[in-house]
Amino acid sequence: MMITLGIESSCDETSVAILRGGAVLSSVTHSQGEHALYGGVVPEVASRAHLEKIDGLARRAMDGCGITPEKINLIAVTDSPGLAGALLVGVSFALGMHTAYGIPVTGVNHLEGHICSLFIDRGDDIKPPFLVLLASGGHTAIYKYVSSGNCALLGRTVDDAAGEAFDKVGKLLGFRYPAGRMIEAEAAKFAEESTQGKREKINFPVARFSSPEKSLCFSFSGLKTAVKNFISANSENYINDNRPAVCEAFQRTVVRSLADNLEEAANLTGIKTVAVAGGVACNGYLRGELKRRFGADNVIVPPPSLCTDNGAMIAMAGYMMYESNRLRFPKMDPGRGI
């Protein structure tokens, strides 16, 4: 069975994983804490941190499952899209192993990697076609997945990504970067408070596009501004007291936008199975809402560790590219989508 080593370094996670076929043998990830100081990812800081960690992570991934370089059949590395200097670290490391050990190497598109995370450790129990909502810190889009290499973009954000909106609103409310998980936890407190009859719901508006060609697109920058205006229109004491209500309202609004568009995509395409991928797919409220709307059996959700950036999804994408004859030499292309 094919052994694939996957390398991810496109943003602020350095991650290396080893797969046998579509099953994870080992996976190690280092999330860069440095960026919390600045409230967002600083590209130069990211590149240096990747460079410091990647060698040790690759060693740990191999030691963790007793695989030596000679046993690796394919190296898969993210080469697009992402931060140029950050991608360069992973690609250079992959090319170093390729040259030193003669192991075949393929470049992988990061977004395809997120989508392929759906297939990890699941054997054949996922049957395309299905719709994928990819919602991360850098991207938010809906795709129609038909087969490896056949994936159509149906709609995407015209401004901020959903995760970016969580992070920016988190910053306004005083949370550390990345703020998605903390906003979710804070929003959950609101449910407790409101059952005790203590709190009223806040409502924020969400953008919808009326033109048919943009009906599946998203826009989150207006929502961020609405939260910002709400914060400046109220006293510091009020906001401190009502932070869970603000988080709940913001999260509910983002999730409604994501779920509405996914539901519309399902109506337009007639496809009833939906999947979520990317960091925002960790969000329990989003998962619950999709299960409520589409039925639990029709929603595919990877475990949280496979939603945020990881090397296993890149290895899986590389393995699936191999199976469909689509291997390609890495080519740095920081801006390329799918």
* 76-115 positions binding ligand KG4, by CB under 6 A: none
Other CB atoms within 10 Å distance of the CB of residue 196: 7
> Which of ligand KG4, Zn ion, none sits in contact with 163, Cβ below 5 to 8 A by type?
ligand KG4
279 binds ligand KG4 (CB under 6 A): yes
CB of residue 141 to Zn ion, shortest distance in Å: 12
Annotate 150-177 with DSSP letters as a single string. Answer: EEEEEEEBSS--HHHHHHHHHHHTTPPS
Q: What is the DSSP string of 238-306?
A: HHHHTHHHHHHHHHHHHHHHHHHHHHHHHHHH----EEEESGGGG-HHHHHHHHHHH-GGGEE---HHH
3-class state of residue 12 by DSSP: coil
Binder of residue 179, out of ligand KG4, Zn ion, none (CB less than 5 to 8 A by kind): ligand KG4
- Point out which span in 44-52, 121-129, 272-280, 314-322 binds ligand KG4 (CB under 6 A): 272-280
Closest approach of Zn ion to the CB of residue 43, in Å: 15
Binding mask 5-34 for ligand KG4 (x = CB under 6 A): ------x-----------------------
**What angle do the packed helices 84-101 and 43-65 form, to 10 degrees?**
30
| Alpha-carbon span 11 to 20, nearest angstrom | 26
The pattern of x and - marking residues 203 through 232 that bind ligand KG4 according to CB under 6 A reads: ------------------------------
**Count of positions on this chain that bind ligand KG4 (CB under 6 A):** 20
Q: Does 15 bind Zn ion (CB under 5 A)?
A: no
- Measured from the CB atom, the residue of 98 and 251 that comes closer to ligand KG4 is 251
Residue 30: strand pairing partners: 14
Structure tokens at 19: 């797969």
Closest CA to 269 of 145, 96, 149, 156: 145
Site residues for ligand KG4, 153-212, by CB under 6 A, read 163-164, 166-167, 178-181, 184
Site for Zn ion in 136-165 (CB under 5 A): 136
Query: Does 8 participate in binding Zn ion (rule CB under 5 A)?
Result: no
Q: Per rule CB under 6 A, is residue 280 in the interface with ligand KG4? A: yes
Per-residue interface string for the shown chain with Zn ion, residues 306-325, x marking contact by CB under 5 A:
---x----------------
* Cis peptide bond N-terminal to 302, omega within 30: no
Question: 10 Å Cβ neighbour count for 25?
Answer: 20
Q: Which residues bind ligand KG4 (CB under 6 A)?
A: 11, 136-138, 163-164, 166-167, 178-181, 184, 278-280, 282-283, 308-309
Query: By the criterion CB under 5 A, which residues form the site for Zn ion?
Result: 136, 309
